[in-house]
Structure 1
Amino acid sequence: MTTRLYSHDIFLEHITPPGHPERPDRLRALHEVLKADIFDPLDRIEAPRGDAMTIGYAHPQAFIRRVEGHIPETGLAQIDEDTSVSPKSFEAALHAIGAANAAVDDVFLGTADNAFVAARPPGHHAETNRAMGFCLFNTAAIAARYAQRKHGAERIAIVDWDVHHGNGTQDIFWADHSVLYCSTHQMPLYPGTGALEETGEHGTICNAPLRAHDTGDHFREAFRDRVLAAIDDFHPDLILISAGFDAHHRDPLAEINLVEDDFDWATGKLMETADRLSGNRLVSLLEGGYDLQGLSASAGAHILRLMRG
């Protein structure tokens, strides 16, 4: 079993304001965990710089230019009250996109069994025409479109277990019959989307909202009954995970009480599904997770399950 890990020092150079939860220390904490001997078999690859043209797979050029125009020469600039950029932010986003697309290549060409992209900034809140929620561009959406254009994938499932609903991914694929978007998330909570009745124009949006203080039992029930059932019906050629770890009980930005074993379990279920329906093609992309201990332990458990098969 070959699990490929993509990361790059450029991801530490996307700087956010002091006290901001989405900070470089998130990746430093994860990489500290990944120094353990048990992770030695990981195939560690430096994230390539993505082709800026691929951003246009999910976002219009005017929007891309607008985001690029916010990048300061020095210091920080605000896109909205939650989302800031620094001089290297656009480059970091390009490398995140490049890593996600390279990981898609890996699973279609068979150079890896699965892959995890340890990148920032995250992406799932970025709508077609709006950067928000710490996110500049929607990396998962771009990777899905890349799989369709480069590898001829007909159907792709994106599974988002970040505690915040991926409004951006839902927005981009709302009217698309070829991409299934499934999300577990706390509701009500930022950004306010993700109700059960939000199903898209073709029924390819599957939301499984959780309530504050729900536990792993609630999460697993929603995951089995809604997410896995929807994927079974859809028969995707590729499964992408928007892997946020802020549903962990330690996280300061939400009130769901998951533990590491819950992420391990969900990873295993998606691996079984990918093996059965998707030619074993599975790529995971880091999204949220803001308590350093909760993030690093949960992401470590997730990666370890990817490695073990």
Structure 2
Amino acid sequence: MLAAYFSHPSMRQHEMGPGHPECPERLSAVQDRLLGSGLLDYMHDVTARPATREQIARVHDTLYIDELFAHSPAEGRHNLDPDTSMNPHTLEAALLAAGAAIEATDWVIQGQTQRAFCNVRPPGHHAERHQAMGFCFFNNVCAAMAHALEHHGLERVALIDFDVHHGNGSEDIFAGDDRVLMCSIFQTNFYPWSGEVPKGPNMVNVGLPERSRGEQFREAVTTRWLPALHAFRPQMLFISAGFDAHLEDDMGNLGLVEADYAWVTDRLGEVADQHAQGRIVSCLEGGYDLSSLARSACAHVKSLMGL
């Protein structure tokens, strides 16, 4: 069965100013690498549709959603925090990013594909229930998880987040929800300055000291994540796939390489095959050095496809 690739060209129209690391070129770098590798030839290439307000409201407060719609500028930019701003195309891009993750969930649960990768921006895992932050507006992967739980009736889903930054928004939304297990790694003492004290018993947060490399990452996965995942027996896996923990990405100070991303994806694929009918939806989060981002995402997708 072919894997599926979800994206939309309009996501490239969202931009937050010259030199901003969360730039439109990120999507192009990933897509070009997947095209050049030949992987896209073996994937369903799906143009995403926007999420509805109802779908977003499963994970975000309606007043917050109303504020984003009200603050969407007709021209120029509207700053939500020092790092996060909206241009006239941001709202559409954010709805498309969440919509891609939700539609990918439909495809996987309905059996049209077993694995899906969403090449999306803006990213989502810092977006909390009531606020945007850290380049994120809507929490794409959480919207997809809520769709799996509420619309499709799944009882247990797992979120795995290997971005260099802790997924504080995802934790805020699902902490204490016994239908969800969240496993994450992140650099300690680093933005968003959270994660080391979990907010709920369903959070397996593993902070890694700066300069940690693949050995420490793999030990965290083997000793902390995998036992928890097997005990939880998720019916579907969702991945917040951030690649800014790469050795070449100066956004953080961890030292992962492509082989580490392929290795962890293989391990997650084994969990999915054992407990979840192989079902995985992965959504792009961070990754700001374009070369290492493209190479790492390609290694991740190749592993998702079982190649």
- Tell me the TM-score normalized by structure 1: 0.97
One-letter code aligned to 2:178: H
Task: Tell me if 1:191 matches 2:192.
Answer: yes
Answer yes or no: is the 8 Å Cα contact 1:199–1:207 preserved in 2.
no
Task: Output the CA distance in 2 between the equivalents of 1:4 and 1:30.
Answer: 15
Task: Output the CA distance in 2 between the equivalents of 1:14 and 1:193.
Answer: 27
One-letter code aligned to 1:192: W
- 2:88 equivalent in structure 1: 87
SS in 2 for 1:33: helix
SS in 2 for 1:163: coil
SS in 2 for 1:185: strand
Task: Tell me if 1:231 matches 2:232.
Answer: no
RMSD: 1.0
Task: Tell me if 1:44 matches 2:45.
Answer: yes
Answer yes or no: is the 8 Å Cα contact 1:165–1:194 preserved in 2.
yes
Answer yes or no: is the 8 Å Cα contact 1:165–1:190 preserved in 2.
yes
- 1:7 equivalent in structure 2: 7
Answer yes or no: is the 8 Å Cα contact 1:157–1:180 preserved in 2.
yes
Q: Could you tell me which of 231, 242, 245 is aligned with 1:244?
A: 242
- 2:209 equivalent in structure 1: 211
Counterparts in 2 of 1:270-309, with a 5 A limit?
Answer: 270-308=268-306
Structure 1 position 199, deviation (Å): 5.0
Task: Output the CA distance in 2 between the equivalents of 1:268 and 1:148.
Answer: 25
- 2:30 equivalent in structure 1: 30
- Structure 1 residue runs of 5 or longer lacking an equivalent are none
Task: Output the CA distance in 1 between the equivalents of 2:80 and 2:129.
Answer: 15
SS in 2 for 1:141: helix
- Structure 2 residue runs of 5 or longer lacking an equivalent are none
SS in 1 for 2:76: coil
> Aligned pair in 2 of structure 1 residues 37, 244: CA closer, same or farther (>3 Å)?
closer
Task: Output the CA distance in 2 between the equivalents of 1:55 and 1:122.
Answer: 14
Deviations 1:38-71 (A, max 9, x none): 3121211111122221110001110101122221
One-letter code aligned to 2:68: V
SS in 1 for 2:281: strand
- 1:126 equivalent in structure 2: 127
Task: Output the CA distance in 1 between the equivalents of 2:116 and 2:188.
Answer: 29
Task: Output the CA distance in 1 between the equivalents of 2:194 and 2:299.
Answer: 28
- 1:135 equivalent in structure 2: 136
Task: Output the CA distance in 2 between the equivalents of 1:282 and 1:132.
Answer: 26
Task: Output the CA distance in 2 between the equivalents of 1:49 and 1:93.
Answer: 8
Structure 1 position 151, deviation (Å): 1.1
One-letter code aligned to 1:270: L
- 1:264 equivalent in structure 2: 262
SS in 2 for 1:45: strand
Task: Output the CA distance in 2 between the equivalents of 1:24 and 1:115.
Answer: 21
Answer yes or no: is the 8 Å Cα contact 2:166–2:192 preserved in 1.
yes
Task: Output the CA distance in 2 between the equivalents of 1:254 and 1:114.
Answer: 29
One-letter code aligned to 2:283: L
Task: Output the CA distance in 1 between the equivalents of 2:133 and 2:63.
Answer: 16
Task: Output the CA distance in 2 between the equivalents of 1:126 and 1:37.
Answer: 32
- 2:112 equivalent in structure 1: 111
Task: Output the CA distance in 1 between the equivalents of 2:173 and 2:51.
Answer: 20
SS in 2 for 1:116: strand
Structure 1 position 308, deviation (Å): 2.4
Structure 1 position 188, deviation (Å): 1.0
One-letter code aligned to 2:3: T
Task: Output the CA distance in 1 between the equivalents of 2:123 and 2:24.
Answer: 12
One-letter code aligned to 2:82: E
One-letter code aligned to 1:8: H
Deviations 1:89-123 (A, max 9, x none): 11111111111111111111110010000000000
Deviations 1:267-290 (A, max 9, x none): 111011001011111100000000
Answer yes or no: is the 8 Å Cα contact 1:199–1:206 preserved in 2.
no
The answer to which of 176-185 and 30-39 deviates more is: 30-39
Answer yes or no: is the 8 Å Cα contact 2:171–2:199 preserved in 1.
no
Counterparts in 2 of 1:170-185, with a 5 A limit?
Answer: 170-185=171-186
SS in 1 for 2:239: strand
List, as ranges, runs of 4+ consecutive aligned residues in structure 1 with deviation greater than 3 Å. Answer: none
- 2:156 equivalent in structure 1: 155
- 2:54 equivalent in structure 1: 53
Task: Output the CA distance in 2 between the equivalents of 1:131 and 1:244.
Answer: 18
